[in-house]
Structure 1
Amino acid sequence: MFRLISTSDFVRVQKIYQNSVLKLAPSLYSPEQVMAWSLFPNNIQKFYSFVFNPDTYVIENKEEIIGFCGLEKDGHIASLYVDPSYNRQGYGTKLLQYVLEQGIKAKINRFYTEASFFSHPVFLRCGFVVLEMETVKYGVVSFQRYKMEKEIIE
């Protein structure tokens, strides 16, 4: 059900990212924000680095990739996206929990991320706390997101 991403998965994760933003973000973000955010996978070089520089894990359902989550060596959760047709079925939580387990096995004791308005509840369910809100820009469009962390206490 979980595995590391392979290069043959690239197009599928591009679609998951783009579909997730286009279908889920309009309820929480402006049309300009949705458009700016959804165009990121079109920058092949940057999106490739976004997906393959961290250890990115995919979750499959019946051999179809339905989500992905990236973990950097320093504990940064770089991505968490689930295909919108599988939204609100627990797959995002299961995927994040699996990735956290992999990090704990690698002796990471602090995880951190920048969560969107729609991924924020998943991180809360997995024990992350909000540190602060931050504003970032995609091109000329500004976004607010949650800076969050989870510390592992032995």
Structure 2
Amino acid sequence: MFRLINASDSFTLKQIYQKVVQELAPSLYNEEQVIAWSAFPNDQDKFNNFILKPDTYIIEKNQEIIGFCGLEKNGHIASLYIHPKYTRQGYGTQLLQYVLNQGIKQGITKFYTEASFFSQPVFQRCGFEIIEMETVKYGVVSFERYKMEKRIIEEKNE
């Protein structure tokens, strides 16, 4: 159900990314923001860096890739995208929890991310807290998003 991506998965991840933004973002973002955001994967080099630089894990259902989540060595969750057909069914939470567990096995004790308005609830369900809002730009278009973090507290055996 979970695995690391292969370079050959790039096209499918690009499709998922664009479908998520084009179908889910319009309820929370304006048209200009949706267009700017969904254009990001068109720069193949930047998109490949976005998915291949971190350890990006995918979730599959019936041999179909339905989402992906990237984890950098420093604890940064670089991405979390679930195909719109599978949202609100727990797959995002399952995938994020799996990725967090992989990070914990690697010794990561602090995770952080920049969450969109529609991914923020998934991060919150997995124990992330909002640190602050930030404004970023895709080209000339501004977006607000949540800076969030989760700290892992080791339990001491007495």
What is the TM-score normalised by the length of structure 1?
1.00
**Which residue does the alignment assign to 2:95?**
95
Determine if the alignment matches structure 1 residue 57 to structure 2 residue 73: no
In structure 1, C-alpha distance between the alignment counterparts of 2:138 and 2:40, rounded to whole Å: 9
CA distance in 1: counterparts of 2:15 and 2:72, whole angstroms: 22
Equivalent in the alignment of 2:82? 82
The 3-state SS of whatever aligns with 2:122 is helix
Report how far residue 8 of structure 1 moved.
Answer: 1.1
1:23 paired to 2:27: no
Residues 3-42 of structure 1: matches in 2 within 5 Å?
A: 3-42=3-42
Deviations 1:79-129 (A, max 9, x none): 000000001000000000000000000000000000000000000000000
Q: CA RMSD in A?
A: 0.3
Which of structure 1's runs of 4+ aligned residues deviate more than 2 A? none
User: Structure 1 residue 36: deviation in Å?
Assistant: 0.1
Counterpart in 2 of 1:116? 116
Q: Which has the larger radius of gyration?
A: 2
User: What is the rounded CA distance, in whole Å, between the counterparts of 2:101 and 2:134 in structure 1?
Assistant: 27
Equivalent-residue separation in structure 2 for 1:5 and 1:52 (angstroms)? 8
Give 1:147's aligned residue.
147
List runs of 5+ in structure 2 lacking aligned partners: none
Taking structure 2 as the reference length, the TM-score comes to 0.97
Partner SS for 1:60: strand
Q: What is the number of residues matched between the two proteins?
A: 154
